Amino acid sequence: MAKQVAMGAMMKCSFGAAPSALAVLPANKVLAEGPPAANIMDHVPMVNILPFGACKSLANPAVKAATIAAKGVLTPMPCTPVTPAPWTPGAATVTIANVPALDDVSSCMCQWGGTISFTSAGTVKTMIP
């Protein structure tokens, strides 16, 4: 069963070098085991989704330029997430602020080709049916 995602949930990016924690603003006034609960609209880069260390995607212009400068040797550069679309699929039966709640089986795509997923939901007991 999926778990509700809350502030502090740990994420990974398929092109990132390090994990990152989800930041959830308390605007929706819903808590999950203490911290603010997330919905699928909590995907804003540098607000909700913070960098994942170094990026290894050649679709990222900074990585591509550094790799070209290094004569074709892949050269990771600092991660700058670009997530234009919400998390998918989200919870089918639970909403927060009239938007599907975010569960730990959802993922988000970065414009540079990475898939962002959860390694920890930030909750233990709150299950979503």
Give 22-45 pLDDT, tens digit per residue: 999 999 899 988 999 999 999 999
Report how far residue 22's alpha carbon sits from residue 50's, in angstroms, rounded to the nearest whole number.
7
Prediction pTM value: 0.93
Indicate if the pLDDT at residue 127 is higher than 90. Answer: no
Distance CA 59, CA 56 (A): 9
Strands (E), 1-129: 2-3, 10-13, 20-21, 54-55, 77-78, 95-96, 99-100, 108-109, 115-120, 127-128
Question: Cα–Cα distances in Å, from 116 out to 12, 15, 37, 68?
Answer: 6, 9, 18, 26
Structural domains in the chain, sorted by start: 1-52+80-122 (2.60.200)
Amino acid, single-letter form, for residue 63: V
The answer, yes or no, to whether residue 129 has pLDDT greater than 70, is no
Q: What are the pLDDT digits (tens) for 65-78?
A: 999 999 999 999 99
